[in-house]
Amino acid sequence: MKEINSLQLDCDSLLAEAVRQTGLDNFGDPNFRPAFAVLVKAMNNEAKLNEAGRSTQVQRLLNILKNRLRLEAWIQRHPEILEEIVLAPAIIVGLARTGTTMLHRILANDNRFFAPLWFEVRNPAPYMDWEPNVADQRLIEATAEVDALLEANPEIAAIHPMDPKGADEEIMLLEHSFYSYVPNAYMNVPSYTQFVGSNDNLPAYHYLYRLLQCLQWQKKQRGENAQRWLLKAPHHLHFMGELLTVFPDAQIIATHRDPALSVPSVTSMMYNLWITCSDTVDKIAVANEWSNLFAEGMRNTLVIRQQRNEQFYDVWFEDSVKQPFAVIEALYQFLGMQLTPEAHLAMQEHREANKREDRPTHEYTLEEYGLSEQGIRDQYGEYFNQFIKPRLDHA
**Is it the case that residue 198 has pLDDT exceeding 90?**
yes
The mean predicted confidence, pLDDT, of the chain is: 93
Total domain count for the chain? 1
Task: List pLDDT tens digits, range 287-324.
Answer: 999 999 999 999 999 999 999 999 999 999 999 999 99
Q: What percent of the chain has pLDDT over 90?
A: 87
In the prediction, which pLDDT does 26 show? 98
DSSP letters of 139-202?
HHHHHHHHHHHHHH-TTHHHHS---TTSB--THHHHGGGT-SSHHHHHS--HHHHHHHHHS--H
Predicted confidence band of residue 225 (pLDDT cuts 50, 70, 90): very high
d(Cα 378, Cα 287) in Å, to the nearest integer?
Answer: 15
Does the pLDDT value for residue 337 go beyond 70?
Answer: yes
Is 341 a domain residue?
Answer: yes
Is 210 a residue whose pLDDT tops 80?
yes
Cβ(174)–Cβ(30) below 8 Å:
no
Compute the Cα dihedral for 6, 8, 9, 15 and give only its sign.
negative
Residue 152 lies in a domain: yes
At 394 the pLDDT is 84
Q: Give pLDDT tens digits for 383-395.
A: 999 999 999 998 7
- Please tell me the predicted confidence (pLDDT) of residue 147: 81
Is the pLDDT confidence value at 78 over 50?
yes
pLDDT-based confidence at residue 80 (cuts at 50, 70, 90): very high
pLDDT value at 69 more than 60: yes
pLDDT at 300: 98
Flag whether 82 is in a domain: no
**Higher per-residue confidence, 150 vs 282:** 282
Residue 27 forms part of a structural domain: no
Amino acid, res. 5: N
Is 9 a domain residue?
no
Closest CA to 262 of 241, 232, 287: 287
Residue 105 domain boundaries: 87-128+135-393
Within-domain flag for 215: yes
Look up residue 255 and give its DSSP letter. E
Distance CA 218, CA 96 (A): 29
pLDDT at position 1: 40
Q: Which is higher by pLDDT, 143 or 379? A: 379
Strand partners, 126: none
First to last CA, the chain: 60
Say yes or no to pLDDT of 360 above 70.
no
Question: What is the pLDDT confidence band of residue 156, given thresholds at 50, 70 and 90?
Answer: low
Tens digit of each residue's pLDDT (9 = 90 or more) over 106-133: 999 999 999 999 999 999 999 999 999 8
pLDDT at residue 363 in the model: 79
CATH number at residue 190: 3.40.50.300
CA 79 vs. chain centroid, Å, equals 27
